[in-house]
Chain A
């Protein structure tokens, strides 16, 4: 593994995929980031990130069958893999460590 950490946008994409569960695909992930993280997400960046995460083995993707697809056009669903979950946990731990003890500073007006 060349990289053992996650970029911020990679984290957002994986968290969005986890939140969406079985309904995670490119479009729904983009919308989830926009609505929940209240962040502007360029659609193309989401796909670039998904490809990269797939190459790194942090997610897998599979296409639904044509019968299940709305309008007969199958979606490509995303599933976060154990290695991806592991990196997310590590990232959360690092951030929590960095945040702890700063409540007074950050919450004071």
Chain B
């Protein structure tokens, strides 16, 4: 079913004779799209509103407005009028400039981050290739062997390269990121080196002379830009390597400025990342179809027989997969456009008040032969000239903001260009047109409604074309409603985002070091050409996992012996790491259809490491940590989301790994034995369904956490050494403090939160200013009426009460409407992957209070003036 608001809006723009037929067809198309992706269908449905509006209303408006011959005299009149009403012009410029500036910056950010082309010949054909576990929503990497097997058989790709990244030491102390690459990686950029030659397959073979390719900057900074650098040797990670090429300035691939070391993919024991360049004429879908046939998913990463693994081929510069990311882009932009509409609405109300004050002048124009069209043209032009200034200011604001952002984020991918380009300017112009339509055209249409000839007579009596009765009430209430609604939603979103973070979980994040430990894979399976039956493979893996489990215990023991270490534990993940979820089935009911929860498999001491103790029940016993998993721990958000509150101990749940059906019937029941505090693992969970902990099963990859006294960094060498002593094949990677691990999502969300609050604050002040203007104008226009009423004996108190009562009703109705709008906006925001807090009552109360105060102040001055005027003067008042 088409979203109700979309259908309503479409009904407003479609012609009556075809209205229901078109809506029926749009509904049918929406139904078809919903079957594949509900979120995309929803976005598509909303996009239909402007598309149909442009096609059906556009020509009518164009006829109405553009037939007006705009002369230089009109332009001069418009500029003069803008100068005469300088207060209004200033308000328009400030409001629209902020609205356009914020929206343009948002668009520039999205356009730059996701639609900047790769600066290479055929750059649009360069794609990232990953195996994607659609059941668990995790992107997998590929093994070196699997990469080689695919490279040798795939025909869709002109180049199919692999790389790994590692920090290495250059010389004796400088740390640089090294990309260990296959030759195809640099070859696919079709960029010749500044000097020297690109690596070839022979450079990567065992026994070949170690070589390296340097970026321009490093050649300049570390080697002083020596001309004879080619053939010279540099020490990298203790190995002397011959420099075979220096790449041109600004060249970086695949992610940043680093050194490139050729490597045989078969020697890449760890997993590799793969980038391919499609052959000309082959699209990503065709390549994906070929990969689906060729790919053999890495068995290490298939965690359950129900896991569905699909290859994905996505443009390297546009890593947007799935609906969540799409929403993450579209929704903030939608909110910013809404902000602009709020700003323009504020301006529109003041423009309407000004137009009303000029009804006499407009009527004279009509009397002298001006058509309605011409009057509308003039009124729109007057707003248009200020909007043009505002748009230019907005563009400068956006450009400045983007520049600041670009300098602030230092490790942006090299192709991302956040400068204002033609696309951004075109977008700004579209916004300016929208602002002019809302702030100029709507009031102009409203002002000129009805017979302007009749208004000539009214104008002579000092009354208005726009009657400040119900129309003003409606305008003020709508404006209050939109402002209160938008601002309350912005405040709640902003505060929720600001509170996003791990501070409230009280984790010892600065004292804890985490590292990923990879135990390798069974040597028996290393040769892809040797066939093993599934049963054989299972036996080999079981033996390997048993070994890895013993090694894990030894590694933990060794880690605990490191000086200063007080506690260490393993887990499948720590707070801040990528989300892993499953559908939950609750025995004997639970609530409604299956919902997701976060999963974490934890080893002994995991909770102690994070400073957490059971709130109810107990941690896993030693017996429960071995053998088949039959127990689970949950946290309070899980109990609220899945068990409807109440006591969780003793209840049983099942975890379904099939994302599509949520069917867990084949899985064993797990008894809940304890309730843990919320550790923030579910912070990024779209379903906000809490967390389930299970004992960690035998695995060959996990995270190890260490906590103790002093800086956690000092344990890094000891940890690597301990792993080497247990088994040289064990790899320790991704070493970082827990604080760092949690920092990336926190920074992003906080920046968004601050953005929402700042924009909300600006919108609030502007709303207050325009509300003040329009109310003051309305009361001023009642001066004559009040004077007459006083002359007829009405006491001042009655007049004050009647005026204030009206304002109070407006305020009350506006707040009610705003609450509805805020509720609607927050329903939309609920699809975001973060939790919404209740909002700080003080901030929420500030919105109607500030607007109410503006309303009262607007009443006070004109009311006092109206009441102090003498009845005889009031009769003459115009």
Of B47-55, B226-234, B869-877, the one touching chain A = B47-55
CB of B22 within 8 A of CB of A47, answer: yes
Residue in chain B with minimal CB distance to A29: B25
Q: Is A92 an interface residue (CB 8 A)?
A: no
- The answer to whether A27 and B55 touch (CB under 8 A), given A51-B15, A51-B18, A76-B18, is no
Interchain Cβ contacts within 8 Å, total number: 43
CB of B56 within 8 A of CB of A73, answer: no
What chain A residues lie within 8 Å of B17 (beta carbons)? 51
Interface range for B: 10 to 19
What chain B residues lie within 8 Å of A74 (beta carbons)? 24
Q: Is B28 an interface residue (CB 8 A)?
A: yes
CB of A43 within 8 A of CB of B24, answer: no
Q: Mark B21-65, 1 if CB is under 8 A from A, else 0.
A: 110111111000000000000000000100110111000000000
In whole Å, how far is A26's beta carbon from the nearest beta carbon of chain B?
A: 4
Q: Mark A26-43, 1 if CB is under 8 A from B, else 0.
A: 110000000000000011
CB of B18 within 8 A of CB of A47, answer: yes
What chain B residues lie within 8 Å of A47 (beta carbons)? 18, 22, 52, 55
What chain A residues lie within 8 Å of B48 (beta carbons)? 43-44
CB of A43 within 8 A of CB of B26, answer: yes
Chain A binding site: helix, strand, loop or mixed by DSSP? helix
In whole Å, how far is A77's beta carbon from the nearest beta carbon of chain B?
A: 10
What chain B residues lie within 8 Å of A27 (beta carbons)? 25, 28-29
Measured in the bound complex, the distance between the Cα atoms of B54 and A50 in whole Å is: 16
18 other contacts beyond A44-B55, A47-B55, A73-B24, with CB at 8 A cut-off? Answer: A25-B21, A25-B25, A26-B21, A27-B25, A27-B28, A42-B51, A43-B26, A43-B29, A43-B48, A43-B52, A44-B51, A44-B52, A44-B56, A50-B18, A51-B18, A63-B21, A74-B24, A76-B21
What chain B residues lie within 8 Å of A79 (beta carbons)? none
What chain A residues lie within 8 Å of B18 (beta carbons)? 47, 50-51, 76
What chain B residues lie within 8 Å of A90 (beta carbons)? none
CB of A75 within 8 A of CB of B21, answer: yes
What chain B residues lie within 8 Å of A50 (beta carbons)? 18
In whole Å, how far is B56's beta carbon from the nearest beta carbon of chain A?
A: 7
CB of A48 within 8 A of CB of B22, answer: no
CB of A48 within 8 A of CB of B28, answer: no
Measured in the bound complex, the distance between the Cα atoms of B15 and A82 in whole Å is: 26
In whole Å, how far is A70's beta carbon from the nearest beta carbon of chain B?
A: 8
In whole Å, how far is B26's beta carbon from the nearest beta carbon of chain A?
A: 7
CB of B56 within 8 A of CB of A48, answer: yes
Measured in the bound complex, the distance between the Cα atoms of B55 and A43 in whole Å is: 10
Q: Is A45 an interface residue (CB 8 A)?
A: yes
Residue of A48, A73, A75, A76 near B55 (CB, 8 A) is A48
Measured in the bound complex, the distance between the Cα atoms of B103 and A3 in whole Å is: 44
In whole Å, how far is B628's beta carbon from the nearest beta carbon of chain A?
A: 49
Q: Mark A59-85, 1 if CB is under 8 A from B, else 0.
A: 000010000000001111000000000
In whole Å, how far is A98's beta carbon from the nearest beta carbon of chain B?
A: 30
Residue of A44, A48, A75 near B24 (CB, 8 A) is A75
CB of A44 within 8 A of CB of B28, answer: no
Measured in the bound complex, the distance between the Cα atoms of B22 and A74 in whole Å is: 11
Measured in the bound complex, the distance between the Cα atoms of B56 and A50 in whole Å is: 13
What chain B residues lie within 8 Å of A48 (beta carbons)? 55-56
**6 A-B pairs whose Cβ atoms sit less than 8 Å apart in the complex:** A26-B21, A42-B51, A48-B56, A51-B15, A63-B21, A75-B25
Measured in the bound complex, the distance between the Cα atoms of B21 and A43 in whole Å is: 13
In whole Å, how far is B104's beta carbon from the nearest beta carbon of chain A?
A: 25
Residue in chain A with minimal CB distance to B22: A47
CB of A44 within 8 A of CB of B54, answer: yes
In whole Å, how far is B662's beta carbon from the nearest beta carbon of chain A?
A: 27
What chain B residues lie within 8 Å of A26 (beta carbons)? 21-22, 25
What chain A residues lie within 8 Å of B54 (beta carbons)? 44
Measured in the bound complex, the distance between the Cα atoms of B21 and A51 in whole Å is: 12
Measured in the bound complex, the distance between the Cα atoms of B16 and A51 in whole Å is: 12
In whole Å, how far is B130's beta carbon from the nearest beta carbon of chain A?
A: 30
Q: Which residue among A27, A42, A51 has the maximum number of chain B CB atoms within 10 Å of its CB?
A: A27
The 4 A-B residue pairs with the shortest CB-CB distance in the complex, in nearest-first order: A44-B55, A76-B21, A27-B25, A26-B25
Measured in the bound complex, the distance between the Cα atoms of B396 and A73 in whole Å is: 51
